[in-house]
Chains A and B, each alone.
Chain A
Protein backbone atom coordinates (compact mmCIF):
# COMPACT_ATOMS: atom_id res chain seq x y z
CA UNK A 1 0.00 0.00 0.00
CA UNK A 2 0.87 3.63 -0.22
CA UNK A 3 3.36 4.97 2.31
CA UNK A 4 3.99 8.58 3.17
CA UNK A 5 7.06 9.41 5.20
CA UNK A 6 8.05 12.71 6.75
CA UNK A 7 11.33 13.96 8.10
CA UNK A 8 12.35 15.05 10.58
CA UNK A 9 10.06 13.57 13.22
CA UNK A 10 10.91 16.34 15.68
CA UNK A 11 12.46 19.77 15.26
CA UNK A 12 13.39 22.31 17.92
CA UNK A 13 14.23 25.82 16.69
CA UNK A 14 14.94 29.15 18.27
CA UNK A 15 12.29 31.73 17.54
CA UNK A 16 13.25 33.53 14.35
CA UNK A 17 15.01 30.55 12.78
CA UNK A 18 13.70 28.84 9.68
CA UNK A 19 12.10 25.40 9.61
CA UNK A 20 11.57 22.83 6.86
CA UNK A 21 9.75 19.51 6.83
CA UNK A 22 9.91 17.04 3.97
CA UNK A 23 7.33 14.56 2.78
CA UNK A 24 7.95 11.55 0.52
CA UNK A 25 5.39 9.21 -0.95
CA UNK A 26 6.03 5.71 -2.27
CA UNK A 27 3.60 6.40 -5.12
CA UNK A 28 2.74 9.31 -7.37
CA UNK A 29 0.09 11.55 -5.85
CA UNK A 30 -2.73 13.31 -7.67
CA UNK A 31 -2.45 16.07 -5.09
CA UNK A 32 -0.91 16.67 -1.70
CA UNK A 33 -2.31 18.49 1.27
CA UNK A 34 -0.75 19.92 4.40
CA UNK A 35 -2.35 20.05 7.83
CA UNK A 36 -1.35 21.61 11.12
CA UNK A 37 -2.26 20.19 14.50
CA UNK A 38 -1.76 22.37 17.55
CA UNK A 39 -0.97 20.57 20.84
CA UNK A 40 -4.18 19.03 22.16
CA UNK A 41 -6.04 19.94 19.00
CA UNK A 42 -7.15 18.36 15.78
CA UNK A 43 -5.57 18.60 12.32
CA UNK A 44 -6.56 21.69 10.37
CA UNK A 45 -6.19 22.05 6.62
CA UNK A 46 -3.50 24.47 5.45
CA UNK A 47 -3.15 24.04 1.70
CA UNK A 48 -3.51 21.74 -1.30
CA UNK A 49 -1.00 21.39 -4.15
CA UNK A 50 -2.06 19.80 -7.40
CA UNK A 51 0.39 20.59 -10.19
CA UNK A 52 3.85 19.15 -10.70
CA UNK A 53 6.45 21.63 -9.42
CA UNK A 54 3.81 23.85 -7.85
CA UNK A 55 4.88 26.40 -5.25
CA UNK A 56 2.43 28.22 -3.00
CA UNK A 57 2.98 30.75 -0.27
CA UNK A 58 0.94 31.68 2.77
CA UNK A 59 2.68 34.58 4.53
CA UNK A 60 5.81 32.98 6.06
CA UNK A 61 4.92 29.46 4.85
CA UNK A 62 6.12 28.13 1.48
CA UNK A 63 4.84 24.84 0.11
CA UNK A 64 6.34 22.92 -2.79
CA UNK A 65 5.19 19.90 -4.76
CA UNK A 66 7.90 17.89 -6.47
CA UNK A 67 8.22 17.52 -10.22
CA UNK A 68 7.48 13.80 -10.00
CA UNK A 69 4.55 14.46 -7.63
CA UNK A 70 6.01 12.07 -5.07
CA UNK A 71 7.48 14.56 -2.63
CA UNK A 72 6.66 17.86 -1.03
CA UNK A 73 8.08 20.32 1.46
CA UNK A 74 6.88 22.98 3.86
CA UNK A 75 9.23 25.80 4.77
CA UNK A 76 8.54 28.34 7.49
CA UNK A 77 10.60 31.52 7.48
CA UNK A 78 11.41 33.21 10.78
CA UNK A 79 9.43 30.94 13.06
CA UNK A 80 7.18 32.33 15.76
CA UNK A 81 5.79 30.69 18.87
CA UNK A 82 2.42 30.49 17.14
CA UNK A 83 3.96 28.04 14.65
CA UNK A 84 4.24 25.37 17.34
CA UNK A 85 2.48 22.13 16.45
CA UNK A 86 2.70 19.04 14.30
CA UNK A 87 2.66 19.40 10.54
CA UNK A 88 1.30 16.57 8.42
CA UNK A 89 1.30 15.99 4.72
CA UNK A 90 -1.48 13.86 3.26
CA UNK A 91 -2.39 12.46 -0.09
CA UNK A 92 -5.15 10.38 -1.63
CA UNK A 93 -4.49 7.03 -3.20
CA UNK A 94 -6.10 5.96 -6.47
CA UNK A 95 -9.23 5.04 -4.54
CA UNK A 96 -10.88 6.96 -1.76
CA UNK A 97 -8.32 6.55 0.99
CA UNK A 98 -6.33 9.46 2.41
CA UNK A 99 -2.90 8.62 3.77
CA UNK A 100 -1.13 10.88 6.21
CA UNK A 101 2.56 11.25 6.75
CA UNK A 102 4.08 10.51 10.13
CA UNK A 103 4.20 14.21 10.95
CA UNK A 104 6.88 16.64 12.10
CA UNK A 105 6.53 18.08 15.56
CA UNK A 106 7.83 21.65 15.73
CA UNK A 107 8.89 23.27 18.99
CA UNK A 108 9.77 26.96 18.93
CA UNK A 109 11.97 28.18 21.78
CA UNK A 110 11.30 31.83 22.66
Chain B
Protein backbone atom coordinates (compact mmCIF):
# COMPACT_ATOMS: atom_id res chain seq x y z
CA UNK B 1 0.00 0.00 0.00
CA UNK B 2 1.02 3.59 -0.57
CA UNK B 3 2.48 5.45 2.37
CA UNK B 4 -0.43 7.47 3.66
CA UNK B 5 -0.83 8.26 7.33
CA UNK B 6 -3.46 10.11 9.29
CA UNK B 7 -3.22 11.75 12.67
CA UNK B 8 -4.57 11.59 15.22
CA UNK B 9 -6.17 8.12 15.09
CA UNK B 10 -8.69 9.07 17.77
CA UNK B 11 -9.90 12.45 18.98
CA UNK B 12 -12.49 13.50 21.51
CA UNK B 13 -13.39 17.16 21.59
CA UNK B 14 -16.10 19.51 22.78
CA UNK B 15 -18.69 21.32 20.74
CA UNK B 16 -17.44 24.67 19.51
CA UNK B 17 -13.74 23.88 19.56
CA UNK B 18 -11.57 23.89 16.43
CA UNK B 19 -10.12 20.58 15.28
CA UNK B 20 -7.48 19.82 12.66
CA UNK B 21 -6.92 16.40 11.15
CA UNK B 22 -3.72 15.66 9.30
CA UNK B 23 -3.00 13.49 6.28
CA UNK B 24 0.50 12.78 5.01
CA UNK B 25 1.45 10.83 1.88
CA UNK B 26 4.87 9.85 0.61
CA UNK B 27 3.90 8.86 -2.96
CA UNK B 28 3.96 12.33 -4.52
CA UNK B 29 0.34 11.87 -5.61
CA UNK B 30 -1.25 14.98 -7.01
CA UNK B 31 -4.83 14.33 -5.90
CA UNK B 32 -5.91 13.96 -2.29
CA UNK B 33 -9.35 13.54 -0.74
CA UNK B 34 -11.09 13.78 2.60
CA UNK B 35 -14.13 11.57 3.24
CA UNK B 36 -16.35 11.00 6.21
CA UNK B 37 -17.96 7.65 6.87
CA UNK B 38 -21.25 7.30 8.70
CA UNK B 39 -23.57 4.29 8.99
CA UNK B 40 -25.95 4.11 6.08
CA UNK B 41 -24.16 6.83 4.11
CA UNK B 42 -21.04 5.12 2.90
CA UNK B 43 -18.13 7.41 2.16
CA UNK B 44 -19.03 11.02 1.47
CA UNK B 45 -16.57 13.45 -0.04
CA UNK B 46 -15.85 16.53 2.05
CA UNK B 47 -13.09 18.32 0.13
CA UNK B 48 -10.43 17.36 -2.33
CA UNK B 49 -7.20 18.77 -3.69
CA UNK B 50 -5.76 18.60 -7.19
CA UNK B 51 -2.45 20.22 -6.36
CA UNK B 52 -0.62 22.47 -3.92
CA UNK B 53 -2.99 25.25 -2.86
CA UNK B 54 -5.64 23.89 -5.26
CA UNK B 55 -8.69 22.61 -3.43
CA UNK B 56 -12.40 22.28 -4.05
CA UNK B 57 -15.57 21.35 -2.23
CA UNK B 58 -17.17 17.94 -2.16
CA UNK B 59 -20.76 16.99 -1.40
CA UNK B 60 -20.65 17.64 2.40
CA UNK B 61 -18.25 20.56 2.77
CA UNK B 62 -20.26 22.81 5.10
CA UNK B 63 -18.40 23.37 8.39
CA UNK B 64 -15.09 22.11 6.99
CA UNK B 65 -12.07 23.77 5.43
CA UNK B 66 -8.87 22.32 4.00
CA UNK B 67 -5.37 23.41 3.17
CA UNK B 68 -2.58 21.95 1.09
CA UNK B 69 0.67 23.82 1.40
CA UNK B 70 2.84 20.89 0.31
CA UNK B 71 2.20 17.95 -2.01
CA UNK B 72 2.51 15.49 0.83
CA UNK B 73 0.23 17.16 3.39
CA UNK B 74 -3.54 17.73 3.31
CA UNK B 75 -5.18 19.21 6.40
CA UNK B 76 -8.87 19.12 7.29
CA UNK B 77 -10.13 21.70 9.78
CA UNK B 78 -13.42 21.84 11.62
CA UNK B 79 -13.62 25.51 12.53
CA UNK B 80 -16.16 24.98 15.30
CA UNK B 81 -16.95 21.33 15.87
CA UNK B 82 -20.56 20.19 16.21
CA UNK B 83 -21.99 16.86 17.34
CA UNK B 84 -23.12 16.15 13.75
CA UNK B 85 -19.44 16.03 12.80
CA UNK B 86 -18.85 12.98 14.97
CA UNK B 87 -17.68 10.48 12.40
CA UNK B 88 -14.81 8.46 11.02
CA UNK B 89 -12.68 10.54 8.66
CA UNK B 90 -10.60 9.00 5.91
CA UNK B 91 -7.97 10.62 3.79
CA UNK B 92 -7.05 9.20 0.40
CA UNK B 93 -4.55 9.92 -2.33
CA UNK B 94 -4.96 9.02 -5.96
CA UNK B 95 -2.35 7.37 -8.10
CA UNK B 96 -1.89 8.05 -11.82
CA UNK B 97 -3.93 4.95 -12.63
CA UNK B 98 -6.79 6.51 -10.59
CA UNK B 99 -6.54 3.93 -7.82
CA UNK B 100 -7.22 5.44 -4.40
CA UNK B 101 -5.07 4.65 -1.36
CA UNK B 102 -6.62 5.30 2.03
CA UNK B 103 -5.18 6.16 5.40
CA UNK B 104 -6.23 4.24 8.49
CA UNK B 105 -8.83 6.80 9.47
CA UNK B 106 -9.51 9.16 12.37
CA UNK B 107 -12.34 8.44 14.80
CA UNK B 108 -13.63 11.87 15.90
CA UNK B 109 -16.13 12.28 18.71
CA UNK B 110 -17.64 15.71 19.39
CA UNK B 111 -19.34 15.90 22.78
Which A positions have Cβ atoms within 8 angstroms of B? 1, 6, 9, 31, 33, 35, 41-45, 48, 88, 90, 92, 95-103
Contact = CB atoms under 8 A, between A and B. Distances in A.
A45 B101 contact: yes
Interface residues on B, range: 20 to 34
B79 interface: no
B48 A97 contact: yes
Contacts of B48: 96-98
B100 A96 contact: no
B59 A48 contact: no
Contacts of A1: 59
Contacts of A9: 40
A90 B100 contact: yes
B104 interface: yes
Contacts of B74: none
A90 to B, nearest CB: 7
B58 A48 contact: no
Nearest to A90: B100
B45 A98 contact: yes
Contacts of A42: 90, 102-105
Interface string B95-110: 0011111111100000
A37 B3 CA distance: 18
Interface in B1-51: 1, 31, 33, 35, 40-45, 48, 50
Contacts of B101: 45
28 contacts: A6-B42, A33-B99, A35-B100, A42-B102, A42-B105, A43-B43, A43-B102, A45-B99, A45-B100, A48-B97, A48-B98, A48-B99, A90-B100, A92-B98, A95-B56, A96-B48, A96-B50, A96-B56, A98-B94, A99-B45, A100-B35, A100-B42, A100-B43, A100-B44, A100-B45, A101-B42, A102-B42, A103-B43
